[in-house]
C-alpha cells in the first residue's frame, strides 16, 4: 500500500509542477507576442500621452517577473483578471463558455467511448477478416482527414443538402435538452468521428496484446466462446492502456475543440479564445490557455492514477 500511495503522490506532485511550468510558458508566450496592447485598445490615432497612461494603468511598465507573480497570485485567489477590450470579469465570461464546451465534449464522449470499445472488440473478434479490415480502413481514413474538412463536408451534406440540422450551433439557457442536442448534433458527430478512430485502434491493439497470454490459450482450450474470452478475460486485463487513450481523447475533446467551435460558431471556450487573440486581449488569452492546460494535465493525471490503481502488482505488492 505504501508503494501505491507513493506513486499516486508522485503523479499528483508532477502534475502540479507541470502546470506551474506551463503557466510560465503561457505568460512568457503572451509577453513576446508582437504588437502593443495599449495601441490595440486605443487605436492608431491615440496620442503618445494616452498610450503611456494606458500602459501604466495596465501595469505594462512593471518588470515581467513582477507581472507574472501578480498574475499568479490573482489566479491562486480565483481572480482571472479583467478583459482589456470589454472591461468584463474574465472568470464570469469564461464560466458560461466553459460550460458550453464541457456540454459538447460530454455528449461526444458519451457516444464515442462505448462505440470505440465496441468496435475494438468486434475488430479483435474478427481479426484479419472483413469486419476488422473494414473498421480499420474507415478509422484510418478518418484519422488522415483534417477535422475542419470533415466539419465542412458534414455541414454541406447534413445541413445544406439534407437540412437535418443547423450549421450554426448557437445554444442558450432557454432551449430544452432536446433542442440543444439537435442544434449541436453535427459538431458532436464530427468530434465523435475524430476521436473514435484513435480510441478504437488503441483498444484493438491493447486487447490483441493480451490475447497472446497463456491464460487466454487456456480459456480457448476450455471451449469458451471467443467473444466471451475477449469480454471477460482480455478486456479487463487491458484496461490500463484503454483508460489512458480514453483520457487522452477526453482531454482532446475539451482542449482540441477550438477548430470545431470556430467552424460551427459555437459559443464555447475555443471561440472565446480565438475572438480575443484577434483583439490581442492578453489576460483572456492567458486565462484560456491556462484553463486548457489544466484540463489536459488533469485528465492525463487521472489516467496515470487509474492505471496505477488498475495494476494488481501495485495494489498487492509482495
Domain's final residue, options 53, 76, 99: 76
Average pLDDT, stretch 298-312? Answer: 78
What is the SS3 string spanning 22-47? HHHHHHHHHHCCCCCHHHHHHCCCCC
Average pLDDT, stretch 73-102? Answer: 84
> Among candidates 45, 32, 40, which has minimal Cα distance to 58?
40
Range 213-219 contact pairs with CB under 8 angstroms and sequence separation of 24 or more: 213/237
> What's the pLDDT at 316?
57
72 and 94, same domain (yes or no): no
In three-state secondary structure terms, 62 is coil
> What confidence category does residue 312 fall into, taking pLDDT thresholds of 50, 70 and 90?
low
d(C-alpha 296, C-alpha 258), whole Å: 14
150 and 286, same domain (yes or no): yes
pLDDT tens track for 145-174: 888 888 999 999 999 888 888 888 888 888
Domain's final residue, options 24, 48, 76: 76
Domain's final residue, options 27, 46, 76: 76
144 and 259, same domain (yes or no): yes
131 and 69, same domain (yes or no): no
41 and 97, same domain (yes or no): no
d(C-alpha 12, C-alpha 309), whole Å: 14
> What's the pLDDT at 220?
79
38 and 118, same domain (yes or no): no
123 and 263, same domain (yes or no): yes
pLDDT higher than 70, residue 318: no
pLDDT tens track for 52-67: 887 777 777 778 888 8
CATH number at residue 205: 1.10.3720.10
> What's the pLDDT at 313?
58
pLDDT tens track for 18-45: 999 999 998 888 777 766 667 767 767 7
> What confidence category does residue 111 fall into, taking pLDDT thresholds of 50, 70 and 90?
very high
141 and 215, same domain (yes or no): yes
**Residues of the domain holding 212:** 90-303
> What's the pLDDT at 51?
76
Higher pLDDT, 120 or 48: 120
Q: What is the 8-class DSSP label of residue 285?
A: H
pTM of this prediction?
Answer: 0.82
70 and 109, same domain (yes or no): no
pLDDT tens track for 183-234: 999 999 999 988 888 888 888 888 888 888 888 888 878 888 888 888 887 8
Residue in this structure with the C-alpha cell 505568460, named with its chain if needed: 27
Cβ atoms of 259 and 274 closer than 8 Å: no
Is residue 138 domain-resident?
A: yes
What is the share, in percent, of the chain residues with pLDDT greater than 90?
A: 10
171 and 242, same domain (yes or no): yes
> What's the pLDDT at 188?
92
d(C-alpha 304, C-alpha 161), whole Å: 45
Count of the separate structural domains present in the chain: 2
Cβ atoms of 186 and 159 closer than 8 Å: yes
Is residue 84 domain-resident?
A: no
pLDDT higher than 70, residue 244: yes
pLDDT higher than 70, residue 317: no
Average pLDDT, stretch 241-262? Answer: 84
Is residue 315 domain-resident?
A: no
95 and 71, same domain (yes or no): no
242 and 282, same domain (yes or no): yes
Amino acid at each position: 500500500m505504501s508503494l501505491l500511495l507513493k506513486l499516486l503522490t508522485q503523479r499528483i506532485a508532477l502534475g502540479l509542477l507541470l502546470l506551474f511550468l506551463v503557466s510560465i510558458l503561457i505568460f512568457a508566450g503572451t509577453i513576446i507576442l508582437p504588437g502593443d496592447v495599449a495601441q490595440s485598445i486605443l487605436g492608431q490615432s491615440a496620442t503618445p500621452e494616452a498610450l503611456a497612461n494606458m500602459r501604466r494603468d495596465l501595469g505594462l511598465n512593471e518588470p515581467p517577473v513582477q507581472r507574472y507573480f501578480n498574475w499568479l497570485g490573482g489566479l491562486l485567489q480565483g481572480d482571472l483578471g479583467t478583459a482589456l477590450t470589454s472591461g468584463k470579469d474574465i472568470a464570469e465570461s469564461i464560466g458560461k463558455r466553459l460550460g458550453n464546451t464541457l456540454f459538447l465534449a460530454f455528449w461526444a464522449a458519451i457516444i464515442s467511448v462505448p462505440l470505440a470499445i465496441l468496435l475494438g472488440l468486434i475488430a479483435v473478434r474478427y481479426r484479419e477478416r472483413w469486419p476488422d479490415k473494414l473498421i480499420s480502413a474507415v478509422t484510418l481514413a478518418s484519422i488522415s482527414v483534417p477535422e475542419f474538412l470533415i466539419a465542412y463536408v458534414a455541414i454541406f451534406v447534413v445541413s445544406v443538402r439534407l437540412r437535418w440540422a443547423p450549421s450554426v450551433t448557437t445554444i442558450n439557457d432557454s432551449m430544452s435538452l432536446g433542442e440543444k442536442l439537435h442544434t449541436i448534433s453535427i459538431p458532436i458527430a464530427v468530434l465523435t468521428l475524430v476521436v473514435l478512430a484513435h480510441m478504437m485502434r488503441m483498444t484493438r491493439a491493447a486487447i490483441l496484446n493480451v490475447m497472446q497470454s497463456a491464460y487466454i490459450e487456456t480459456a480457448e482450450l476450455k471451449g469458451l466462446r471467443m467473444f466471451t474470452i475477449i469480454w471477460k478475460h482480455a478486456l479487463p486485463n487491458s484496461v490500463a492502456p484503454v483508460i489512458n487513450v480514453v483520457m487522452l481523447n477526453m482531454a482532446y475533446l475539451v482542449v482540441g475543440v477550438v477548430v470545431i467551435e470556430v467552424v460551427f460558431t459555437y459559443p464555447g471556450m475555443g471561440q472565446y479564445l480565438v475572438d480575443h487573440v484577434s483583439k490581442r486581449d492578453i489576460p483572456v488569452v492567458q486565462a484560456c490557455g491556462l484553463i486548457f492546460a489544466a484540463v489536459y494535465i488533469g485528465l492525463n493525471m487521472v489516467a496515470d492514477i487509474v492505471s496505477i490503481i488498475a495494476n494488481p502488482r501495485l495494489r498487492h505488492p509482495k
